[in-house]
Amino acid sequence: MQTSMRVLKLKKPHAASGFTLIELMISMVIGLVIVVAAMSAYLGAAGASKISDAQSRMNEDGQAALNLLAHEIRMAGANSVQTSRDAAFSRNPVYSPYPLSVNTAAGTSATYTTTPGTYTISSFSIRGCDGTFTNVTATTATNLDALTCSGTTSTLPDSIAINYEADKYNTTVSSSGIGTDCLGNAVPTISATYSAGTATTATFGVADNRFYIGYIGNNTSRPPTLYCKGNSNSTQPLVENIEDLQLLYGTRSTSTTSTTATIAGYLAASDITALTTAPNDDATRWSKVLTVRICVVVRSENPVAPDAASASYIKCDGTRDTTKTDLRLRRAYSTVVVLRNRQS
């Protein structure tokens, strides 16, 4: 009997397949490059977006500050003619000396009382200071005449005070129908009685608005802010991140009294108070101002500049400031306002 035997042959196993160490390292490097490139693109886009957002906010803040200041300064000296009056008393006694009239007759005079009785009419319609008036918010500084300023050149933010007859045409009237100050509060009313003419009495209001740069709660770690103080002795922040306010005043020649004279030059507040041409009083010096050049420096709310070089900016005086190290963006915004209501 034959026996057949089968011999099973085992196949040799294939060698194990996979990535070599070099291939794995190359793959990791390529992946890392892709991740770094993606992150760089994301961070670049995010940084550009932050800068764009900051610039947009700065533009809004700058325009808001300029619009507020320009509107108020443009109103300085507003004291419209009342057609129902005798020519000698055609204007309300908003400024002293009174009368300010179209046809001031020699020897004419007017008497008036004020409500409240402590209200004193100012001899200024506009007054500025290089730096902040030392008593800009003091309740004892009841009008522009009572403000105090060092009178010297300062690199600090400037301040300005203006007043004008406030009515329904140049302010938002209060619920009682009275004109309002820069904070929307009703201004004190003034009652006047004239010695001649058919309309011998009048009731009107005068806005006394003062603008300066300060900090909320006097805390310098808070954003620098454009403030206004109105007649009501209330002081409120208007626009945050306004770091600087610089004002120059276009004046006519000290030897002319014509309100149509051309601007002789732009002076700082300290230059105006230093004028020596007679009469040597501040009210007369400031009456020569016909235009105001306003410049505000706005900073970004947060640090967004990639480096200190990118944070440099052109200041109000036209020079570049490279000293800022907080990586905030800054930009100067400026405009010129004509005092169209200026009276001689």
Domain count, the chain: 1
Q: Is residue 129 part of a domain?
A: yes
Position 196: which residue type? A
User: Token digits for 27?
Assistant: 């793959």
Task: Write the pLDDT tens digit of every residue in 105-124.
Answer: 444 455 566 656 666 788 89
Pairing of strands 313-314, 159-166: unpaired
Q: Is residue 2 part of a domain?
A: no
Question: Residue 189: which of 162, 166, 161 has the closest Cα?
Answer: 166
pLDDT tens track for 119-170: 678 889 999 999 999 999 998 898 899 999 987 878 899 999 999 999 888 8
Expressed as residue numbers, the domain containing 184 is: 49-338
Q: In whole angstroms, what is the distance from residue 290 CA to residue 260 CA?
A: 9
Residue 88 lies in a domain: yes
Does 62 fall in a domain? yes
CB 292 within 8 A of CB 250: yes
201 lies in some domain? yes
Task: Give me the amino acid identity at 79.
Answer: N
pLDDT band at 224 (very low <50, low <70, confident <90, very high): very high
In a domain, 35, yes or no: no
pTM score, whole prediction: 0.81
Given this model, what pLDDT does residue 114 score?
62
214 within a domain of the structure (yes/no):
yes
Q: Is residue 262 part of a domain?
A: yes
